[in-house]
Structure 1
Amino acid sequence: MSLHLDANGQFRHLLDLEHLPVDGLDRLLRRAQAFADGAQAAQALAGVAVCTLFFEPSTRTRLSFQLAAQRLGAQILNFDASTSSATKGETDMDTLRTIQAMGVRGFVVRHKQDGAVAALAAVANPGVAVVNAGDGRSHHPTQGLLDMLTLRQAHGDDFSTLKVVMVGDVKHSRVARSDLHALRALGCGEIRVCGPAALLPDDDTLHGCVVTDDFDAALDGVDAMMMLRLQRERMTEGLVDSIEDYHRDYGLTSLRVRRAAVNAIVMHPGPMNRGVEISDEVADGAQSRILQQVANGVAVRMAVLESLLSAPE
């Protein structure tokens, strides 16, 4: 049995977007849009216990998963590593097995280490689903889904004519990796990636992208500006000369927004470093879809939990 699929070919876990077929991605987005439009599924997960197993801090992701599970009628357990037996030396796998033994069927896991969530999924019991809520620099699949939903709401389902620019610290961003995969899978017409060379990955993450360090040129005519947080906590060395220089070269200001298409939208996964990657007037401006992304996170996570944990009809 595959780590991603069960014996019937149905998804067991959502660990990344690479193993999610385009039709599966589209199905989740359509279901998420239905939830965003007010569709109800209050009893879809009645009697199902879901644990948010977070080994790393979170605000948006944790709370939206908890709210999503609650709206589906699930029982919610909130795990905080800082106040758990993990502080006494219990391994992550023993933690999962212990909670699993209580009858918990769904685990939403965030971890600072690459591959840690997949490792936990590998020891999960049959019938238990694991959702990756962000692991290291690798994957953040539900953020990728909610970003695609936000793009669809602004520009429609056909991405073939879209020009999207992703700006900033791609090297340390799991959001960037999930977004780039989803954009390619959905047939985005042109994906531009902009940032200083030290903050761009040296693997195949950027295949098929137009890569540049000229932010002003990268903005010309784009339909969406996806800004990334400067992740100083993940950097092992000083990769940016100064915050002031970074904002000067790669910060999105109202003047720069004018280079984009008239109906272009501004996106940011949060948390924002205001005055670093984005200015106040842009973050709070008419073209910003940042809070819409947050709202879409609940709808997307409802769709994911329902898909993985609801009883088949």
Structure 2
Amino acid sequence: MAKRLIECVPNFSEGRRKDVIESIVAPFKATKGCYLFDYRADEDHNRLVVSLVGEPEAIGDALVEAALTARDAIDMNAHQGGHPRIGAVDVIPFTPISNITMEECVTLSHDFGRRYQAETAIPVYFYEEAALRPERQRLEVIRKGQYEVLKDEARTNPDRHPDLGGPGLHPTAGATVIGARKFLVAFNVNLATKDVNVAKEIANAVRASKGGFCHVKGIGLALEERGLVQVSMNIVDYEKNALYRVLETIRMEAARWGVSVVETEIYGMVPAAAVLDSAAYYMQVAGFDPKQVIELKLLEMMGDDDR
């Protein structure tokens, strides 16, 4: 029987202590059937993003072990960082890759969420395709006010109670958001200015909630260690909002303030099509087809070979 494969990109609220980071990722390296593709920690965001691919059961086992480490090592009452967050293990999304449907990933999210809450004592919110309430499909709705506000409202306001484990949050680890979603590209654009208001204004111009691109979420952050600011985005549907189109809009908006783009970042893993689309645009390649890329064509041929 063909293996079911999913992608999972858990985010942890730790980007500074290297020993804690290595302890968190250790189960992903050691668990059979769970493949650690990438992990990156950002000190300004104070956040660790891990990219996994593997079998649902193996990934689930490793996630619980990593979550217990994060729960015991991270105190959200003392946590500070540029990225919005509500918990030590902030978000766990599941994405179908092969031999598994989105509907099955929704069921996986709910089943894993119950196990996760029972074994870690961390309350759970469900989001995106796995949301139990329509308004909770959007991660930013669940995160409104971040940990500092939610730790009180999750106890006193029924509309903000967790889906599992409430009312209230874990006293130090907060809550975790778990769900099922399509591939997401974490795309950041760094700007040559220290004025964070420039980044915030541009983020407002490109994100969906302010009338920008329909599948873009974005915030403006200060990268104090580097003397730059950042438009930090999640492209939740790269096929409908191409990276080059978002970047060129940011470049145009930044020019209004006399600010240039220093660099861009892709955080974690990215589908080849998302990068190739932008490469073809900037190289002005007429009629480009991803099947012209030899490695992708070879993978397609290997996948079609049943021997």
TM-score calculated relative to the size of structure 1: 0.31
Richer in strand (by share): 2
Higher relative contact order (CA 8 A, sep 6+): 1
TM normalised by structure 2 equals 0.32
